[in-house]
Chains A and B, each alone.
Chain A
Amino acid sequence: MAGNKGRGRAAYTFNIEAVGFSKGEKLPDVVLKPPPLFPDTDYKPVPLKTGEGEEYMLALKQELRETMKRMPYFIETPEERQDIERYSKRYMKVYKEEWIPAGPKPKKAKDAGKGTSLTNTADVLKKMEELEKRGDGEKSDEENEEKEGSKEKSKEGDDDDDDDAAEQEEYDEEEQEEENDYINSYFEDGDDFGADSDDNMDEATY
């Protein structure tokens, strides 16, 4: 309609001079494909800063990366079972301390009546409540203990602890008897190093 002016010759609604093309000049080609993935840059990037501080930070960064992987906070994905149990796998396992905060206590059914949610959520909420009610003290105490491989959660006699404590004790022994670089005597301070771990004492190997 209105666009077809001058028998096929293009005419613009604005002053073409302003954009930069003089009259009659060839317009740039229409772009038919996406721009290249790695276009050439005309200019080299500014070189990186180097100096004592930077080098130190670099070493720190790499060290931190390694350390994080070994911390108990690094939760590894459980591998899917392989068809053949490889012999060498047994000797390549890295022993990491297990960090379990005041976790699930399935036997604890003394729900003080939340009432508003389904039993499942009540249960879950109760677990979280357990987690929080003891305050972070409990959680981190355990975390501290767990990290050293010595599990003792004998706070204010909670029966349900025994379950977990029992499982963890077995794990504990297994870990302690393993020949590794961890100093078995090293442990977190302060926590009740109760009677249960007495039997482990005799087996402490150095």
Chain B
Amino acid sequence: MTQAEIKLCSLLLQEHFGEIVEKIGVHLIRTGSQSLRVIAHDTGTSLDQVKKALCVLVQHNLVSYQVHKRGVVEYEAQCSRVLRMLRYPRYIYTTKTLYSDTGELIVEELLLNGKLTMSAVVKKVADRLTETMEDGKTMDYAEVSNTFVRLADTHFVQRCPSVPTTENSDPGPPPPAPTLVINEKDMYLVPKLSLIGKGKRRRSSDEDAAGEPKAKRPKYTTDNKEPIPDDGIYWQANLDRFHQHFRDQAIVSAVANRMDQTSSEIVRTMLRMSEITTSSSAPFTQPLSSNEIFRSLPVGYNISKQVLDQYLTLLADDPLEFVGKSGDSGGGMYVISILTTCHLLSSFLSRFGSRCARIFRLVLQKKHIEQKQVEDFAMIPAKEAKDMLYKMLSENFMSLQEIPKTPDHAPSRTFYLYTVTILSAARMLLHRCYKSIANLIERRQFETKENKRLLEKSQRVEAIIASMQATGAEEAQLQEIEEMITAPERQQLETLKRNVNKLDASEIQVDETIFLLESYIECTMKRQ
């Protein structure tokens, strides 16, 4: 884990879980797997707090544990999982677009709590939705459960590994920590039986209470005497599936940009068909026959078979190789590399200027090129070209390839060729992204801290106004209270708000770049 990543993890943990958890988490990320006592000793925190922090981290799937021989339990942190926390808004928003508010709240609850039983999720979401609905209406548990089942079917939520049931029969002393197992086919299996029964009962108790205001609902209902039907079955959000979805989205939009809407629809159909059959990191989708595609096209597109075939041929012949014939019918990963290249290019544009981008594209195209040739092909004056080349070289976006003419490698008699390896350039950029997000978060925290006094004041004034309005105050009094915040202060607040929003938005967008770069690096490494 690089320093930049560790810094970012520490900032994220601190923001979401507080300082103690951050200390423990960062320590684990830095030092690899450790046992409980060592952690407590090294970080200087009390055992009690370490345990609490570890519980929180394990609950959120950020730390895993393992039993080593000699009965020692060691904890290990997953740094990449911590970095995913940046992406929570994107996950939730995606679910909203796919499954509307219910789905959105389900995923939000799962992300906020790490692991939850299905009944807990359904209950929470139903309650939240009921609060936003009009008085007297309540959210049906069945509807929430339906959405949950749909999410499970499309693999957006999955079961957590659980304690194996055979452990009870073990005669010897139980191990200090169970090894959790999960059966592959059980991962998306929703406990169906309990669902139906529960739904009815809950609904009735809900309906009873519907007449009275929620606050007066009796604390005691018969339901709670019985144990939860799906005790021990915990669900978590399946982040890989979300990533797959993002990737598909990126591919489809790239196709749409390059060609027209219809071809992007075709590609989208192909991807959707292979959503569940292909694992998330496969380089190609399963081969699909054009008949299948034809049958699965969305209803709105009534294009004939011939037109479809034409489109497919077009896609296949495209130099970017989105779609390949027969053997590999989906060049998913090729597209990712193209997208990565585009990102690299655009980052160049912003940082070094369009000429630099031109040089970069040229070197990319020619694979290996000499300095003199760069000037000629790019049509840029020699001095500038050299300047830019060296700048890029120093930033490690380019590398030099030496080809000696003579065995003694004399510099004056050696060819030096510039070349770009996308992989290393991608890594460089990724590292920069981590640093920039860390900077953004720090700056945001700094800004908020600077204006803390002002923020608190404005919050207090708002609270006063709200309470006065509730008790029915006159307009004049409200005016007076509002004037407690002077105009320049108001302006300061405005600026602060604008800055914080900008910083937040930048974080979200840098995270998109990070996603693309990370998936590219991952699939390239897999292919090698």
Contact = CB atoms under 8 A, between A and B. Distances in A.
A104 B48 contact: yes
Contact of A128 (B36, B216, B504): B36
Given A48-B509, A77-B18, A185-B217, A13 B351 contact: no
A120 interface: yes
Contact of A58 (B35, B119, B177, B508): B508
Interface string A125-140: 1111101110111011
Nearest to A73: B56
A141 B120 CA distance: 10
B324 to A, nearest CB: 32
A154 B312 CA distance: 64
B252 to A, nearest CB: 15
A124 B139 CA distance: 44
Nearest to B50: A124
A77 B216 CA distance: 36
Chain B at the A interface: SS class: helix
A21 B36 CA distance: 62
Contacts of B507: 61
Chain A at the B interface: SS class: loop
A115 B215 CA distance: 54
A77 B59 contact: no
A87 interface: no
B37 A132 contact: no
Contacts of B112: 64, 67-68, 71
B228 A133 contact: no
A132 B177 contact: yes
B412 interface: yes
B505 A120 contact: no
Contacts of B176: 114, 125-126, 128-129, 132
Contact of A57 (B16, B90, B226, B349): B90
Nearest to B172: A112
Nearest to B223: A189
A83 interface: no
B220 interface: yes
Query: Which of under 10, 10 to 19, 20 to 34, or 35 or more describes the interface residues of A?
Result: 35 or more
Nearest to A72: B56
A15 B228 CA distance: 81
Interface string B71-103: 111000000000000001110110011000000
A15 to B, nearest CB: 5
Contacts of A192: 224-225, 227
A112 B17 contact: no
Of A13, A104, A184, A191, most buried by chain B (CB within 10 Å of CB) is A191
Nearest to B37: A121
B56 A48 contact: no
Given A45-B350, A74-B16, A185-B217, A114 B508 contact: no
A89 to B, nearest CB: 14
Contacts of A20: 382-383, 386
A206 B350 contact: no
Nearest to A188: B120
B21 interface: yes
B351 A57 contact: no
A36 interface: no
A97 B48 CA distance: 18
Of A42, A58, A112, most buried by chain B (CB within 10 Å of CB) is A58
A49 B88 CA distance: 18
A65 interface: yes
Contacts of A61: 88-89, 504, 507-508
Contacts of B508: 54, 57-58, 61
B326 interface: no
Contacts of A191: 224, 227-228
A50 B376 CA distance: 40
A184 B219 contact: yes
Nearest to B35: A121
25 contacts: A20-B383, A42-B353, A56-B93, A60-B93, A64-B88, A64-B112, A73-B60, A76-B18, A104-B48, A114-B176, A121-B37, A125-B72, A125-B73, A125-B176, A128-B176, A129-B177, A132-B163, A135-B163, A144-B120, A183-B214, A190-B231, A191-B224, A192-B224, A193-B224, A201-B219
List the 7 closest A-B pairs by CB distance, nearest first: A190-B228, A112-B173, A193-B224, A137-B232, A60-B89, A14-B411, A57-B89
Given A48-B502, A141-B231, 6 more contacts: A45-B350, A58-B501, A74-B16, A104-B51, A125-B36, A185-B217
